[in-house]
Amino acid sequence: MSEVDKWYRDYWARYHERIKLNVSLRAPCVSSSQDDELNEIQKIIFARAKNASRILDFGAGDNRVKRKFLAAGFKGSYETLDVSDTEKHTYSSLSEVTGKFDAIFCLEVIEHMSLNDYVDLMDEFGKLLNPGGFLVIGTPNALCVVPMWSLDTGHIQQYPLADLAADLVVRGFEVEAFRVWHGPWPKGIGKRLRLFINRGLCYILGVDYAHGIVVIGTKKVTLEDGGRPV
C-alpha cells in the first residue's frame, strides 16, 4: 500500500462534493495579526466555541490561542496537545486523550503530515468530538501566490480549500470557510494601494493573496446520537 492510499478510500464521494463546493462555497478573507488580543479569525472561532465545556487544541505550540481565549473570558476546560516540551501541555500524544470534546482546534498542523497521517488524525477527531461540536482546521492556502514551501522546511502537504471542505462534508460535517491574510490590514494610502494592486493581479493570474485558510466543521447530530435526521 502507498503512503496516500487512505486518502483515496473516499475519493469519489469527496470529488462530487468538491465540484459542488467549488461553486457554492464562500470564503471571505479575514486577518490574522499577532496581537495579544484575539485577532479577526480568532474572534470568529471564539464566537463559535466560547460556550464549549471542553476544548482540545491539537498542536497548541506556544499556547498563544489558549492564553487569548482565557483572557477573553473562556470558562470551560481548554486542553492542549503538542509534542514540544517548550511549553506545558495537557497531553503529548493523542493516545493519552480520553473523553469527548465540544470543540477541537487543529491550526497550522496538517501541512506538516502525510495524507495518510491526516486521514488517521481526522478519524480520531471524529471519535473525540461530540455531536454538534466544532472542528477547526487551519492550514496554508494552496492557491496563495506565495508558496507554502518558501515559509517552512517542515511543510510537506498542501490542502486546496474546496478539497479540504469536501473531506469534512463526507465525514458528516456542515462547513464554513475563511481565507486568512497573515498580519493586520494595511494602513495608510501607500500600503492599502499596494494591497489593492496585489489583489487585482492575483485575480488576473488566478491565484490568491490570502496566505491561509480556515475551515470550521460542525459535526451533524444523527439519529444514533438521539437527534433528528440530517
Those residues whose C-beta lies under 8 Å from the C-beta of residue 201, and which sit 6 or more positions away, are none
Spatial separation of the C-alpha atoms in residues 39 and 45, rounded to whole Å: 10
Per-residue pLDDT reduced to its tens digit, 73-92: 999 999 999 998 888 999 99
Predicted pLDDT at 189: 92
- Predicted local distance difference test score (pLDDT) of residue 226: 60
Residue with more model confidence, 226 or 229 = 226
pLDDT confidence of residue 230: 40
Distance (Å, whole) CA 84 – CA 64: 14
Q: Evaluate if residue 62 carries a pLDDT over 50.
A: yes
State the pLDDT confidence band at 152, using cuts at 50, 70 and 90. Answer: confident
Q: What pLDDT is stored for residue 229 in this prediction?
A: 45
176: exposed, middle or buried (C-beta count within 10 Å: 0-12, 13-18, 19+)?
middle
State residue 228's pLDDT score. 52
| Model confidence pLDDT, tens digit, residues 172-225 | 999 999 999 998 899 999 999 999 999 999 999 999 999 999 999 999 987 666
Q: How confident is the model at residue 102 (pLDDT cuts 50, 70, 90)?
A: very high
* Candidate from 12-16, 30-34, 64-68, 78-82 with smallest mean pLDDT: 30-34
Amino acid at site 93? S
pLDDT band at residue 149 using 50, 70 and 90 as cut-offs: confident
Give the pLDDT of residue 35.
82
Confidence of residue 114 (pLDDT cuts 50, 70, 90): very high
Closest by CA to 17, choosing from 167, 215, 174, is 167
- pTM, two decimals, is 0.92
> Residue 207 and residue 201: Cα distance in Å, rounded?
8
Residue 28 has pLDDT above 70, yes or no: yes
- Please provide residue 140's backbone torsions phi and psi, each rounded to the nearest 5 degrees: -60, 150
The amino acid occupying position 201 is: L
Q: How far is CA 196 from CA 160, 199, 203, in A?
A: 24, 5, 11
Q: How high is the pLDDT of residue 167?
A: 97
Cα distances from 2 to residues 5, 8, 122, 123, 168, in angstroms, run: 5, 10, 19, 18, 23
